[in-house]
Amino acid sequence: MYDAVVQVDVARHRLRSLILDGTYQPGARLTEVQAAAALSMSRTPVREALRGLIVDGLVRPTGRGVEVTALDLDALHDAYAVRGALEALTAQLAAARQREGRVAPAELESLLETNAAAAEATAAGRLEEAVDHNRRFHRQIAVLAANGLALEMLDRIWDQIIVSTRATLVAGSRRIRVTDQHDRLLAAIREGDSRAAGAIARRHALDTRASAIKEP
């Protein structure tokens, strides 16, 4: 039983990675047979993995297989709004835990390094790398918040946003603003300023929404 669960988790993780990196793009159709062949696995764990990805909102049933899902404009607006609210919460909690002395110096140092990597990739115009570093930065803050439910929900929302916006990435005019917002958010957390951290995190998510969503 344990081995079967592990196989399902492996299949789900690998299929999720292929969707997030654009190998399977929105609208792409995938059957159990195709997925099993791509992963060199049997169909049973792949079937369960696809069911899990349906729950995650990354694929939807269609015919005899599934189709990679992209959020429509309204749903994408909603996703960013929820992301903003959750990241405001996790930034507040992370700052509070820092103020209470419950964040290890090594954790803050790791966050600082991720922020620097995001800034460097953003400045160089390496857009997909910048997105990955950006996500890692915000996820580390959510980990510092020590709220497992918020982290789980953010992971799911981030996945859906990445799938829906990766194909439209462009070198935006707000690269300097992104780095500045990250720097100010990091400073607020290090200072234990919950109110400022929450406000900066929310503003950052909404600014990202404004630049990422291309109105028809």
Question: In the structure, what pLDDT confidence band is assigned to residue 3 with cuts at 50, 70 and 90?
Answer: confident
Residues above pLDDT 90, as percent of the chain: 80
Q: What is the pLDDT of residues 70-113, one digit of tens each?
A: 899 999 999 999 999 999 999 999 999 999 999 999 999 999 99
Question: Full-prediction pTM beyond 0.75?
Answer: yes
* Residue closest to 79 by CA, chosen among 62, 58, 95: 58
Average pLDDT on 170-197 reads 87
Per-residue confidence (pLDDT) for residue 176, from 0 to 100: 77
The residues spanned by each domain of the chain are 2-68, 73-212
Hey, which CATH number is domain 2-68, 2.40.50.220, 2.40.10.10, 2.102.10.10, 1.10.10.10? Answer: 1.10.10.10
Q: Pick 213 or 85 by higher pLDDT.
A: 85
Average pLDDT on 201-214 reads 87
Beta-strand (E) ranges in 5-136?
29-30, 59-62, 65-68
Per-residue confidence (pLDDT) for residue 4, from 0 to 100: 80
In Å, how far are 7, 54, 110 from 41, measured between CA atoms? 9, 19, 36
**What mean pLDDT value characterizes the chain?**
92
Two structure tokens written together for 109: 């140092």
Spatial neighbors of 175 by CB under 8 A, at least 6 apart, are: 122, 123, 125
Identify whether the C-beta of residue 125 lies closer than 8 Å to the C-beta of residue 177: no
Bridge partner residues of 170 (DSSP)? none
Give just the sign of the alpha carbon dihedral 16, 17, 19, 24. negative
* Residue closest to 33 by CA, chosen among 1, 64, 61, 67: 64
Protein fold of 73-212: Four Helix Bundle (Hemerythrin (Met), subunit A) (1.20.120)
Q: Is the pLDDT of residue 56 over 80?
A: yes
Per-residue confidence (pLDDT) for residue 66, from 0 to 100: 96
* Residue closest to 198 by CA, chosen among 112, 91, 116, 100: 91
